[in-house]
Amino acid sequence: MQKILSSKNNYFELQDYMKKNPYHRVMIVCSKHFSQSKLYEVINNLEIDCTYFDEFEPNPRYESVVNGLKIFRENKCDSIIAVGGGSAIDVAKCIKAFFNMKSDENYLKQEIISNDIPFLAVPTTAGTGSEATHFAVIYYNGEKQSVASQSLIPNAVLLDTSSLSTLPIYQKKATLFDAFSHAIESMWSLKSNDESISYSIDAIKLLTKNMDEYFKNQEETFESVLKAANLAGKAINITTTTAGHAMCYKLTSLYHIAHGHAAILVNSELYPYMIEHIDQCRDKRGKDYLIDTLTKISQLLGYQSLEESKDYFRNLLKKYQLYDVDMNLEDMNELVHSVNIERLSNHPIELKEEDIKEIYQRIYHKIMEEKNESN
């Protein structure tokens, strides 16, 4: 069971946890700005030996992880604290994953051997949920590689509300909607179960309740949003993502928008498309089960019927000004062919090439409609 720590009372829970657990020679995987944070002061006042590692990229490369592991070994580190967004946590996960492997072979080609290296994660953005999942992403020769093992889930998570006060508003929006996308996709996933659905429901409730005030930088919402992102991460750890994520990756790279922004763009049109094409249901639990699931989502969003809820995500994007994307109709074929078919295998509605193209076209036309209205 993952331990959740609060930053209240000057990080009392963290200090108590560190004293009671074997964190002695700690590698801290963090951003280059970590030294300016309150948490840095707290950790440096603890009786532990710290090695800081910040030499990695936003989309971390394999070589950076290998370098981090070398430093971990050279400094005889016995534990890891990851402070940051998904990239920092993913780097820390991979250092832990590769620790028991042979150093003279490609780590990605070896089997992960579990270890009991203590691992604490401190997410500084409320969105990725990486602190709650058993997988990590790094890049080898420019290609995305997934590293997965149940042993990579951090033993403990610190919900540090101070990290959110200076997060730029665009990053607040993008990361929150990444968590939102995790929660709703996990709800309708073919792999959903009672546990994952419970996590998703709690996450959606917290996100919808706190969204407006969070974007106004109201500190009383910070812990709730961090909890919601963690819950959504727990849900997606069970189910993995669906078409909403499968279709968002090329939008991110092609139009230079944040991952969560791209995910909610896709889901804003995917959700109504699913409602309109319910007869394409491929969930073995049946069409009625899928209708019931989508109805639960609509009720969580404040609507009594599916039809009423169809414009919910479109209205969110308009309200929070997330239609400002330079999408090009000429990119349709590239977008369609970029979708990983394996990721679609977890989606409850069968989506063929023409369906995917129509969803992308809907996104494009909605963007153009909003731009024309604002001019």
* DSSP string for 322-357: -------GGGHHHHHHHS-HHHHTT-SB---HHHHH
Query: Is the torsion defined by CA of 184, 187, 191, 195 positive or negative?
Result: positive
Domain ranges of the chain: 3-164, 169-374
CATH 3.20.20.70 fits 169-374, yes or no: no
Q: pTM score, two decimals?
A: 0.95
Helix (H) or strand (E) holding 100: none
What is the model's pLDDT at position 47? 85
Q: What does the block give as tokens for 200?
A: 């998703």
CATH number (3.40.50.1970, 3.40.630.30, 3.50.50.60, 3.30.70.1170) of 3-164 reads 3.40.50.1970
What is the model's pLDDT at position 374? 78
Q: Which long-range contacts (CB under 8 A, 24 or more apart) does 45-54 make?
A: 46/15, 46/18, 46/19, 48/18, 48/23, 48/24, 49/24, 49/25, 50/26, 51/25, 51/26, 51/27, 51/75, 51/77, 52/27, 52/28, 53/27, 53/28, 53/29, 53/91, 54/29, 54/30
Reference 290, options 337, 349, 340; nearest CA is: 349
Spans in the chain with pLDDT lower than 70: none
The residue type of 32 is K
Alpha-helix residue ranges (DSSP H) falling in 189-311: 194-215, 222-239, 243-246, 249-255, 259-276, 287-300, 306-309
What is the model's pLDDT at position 343? 76
**How many CB atoms neighbour CB 332 within 10 A?**
16
3-164 against 169-374: fold identical: no
SS3 370: helix
What is the model's pLDDT at position 373? 86
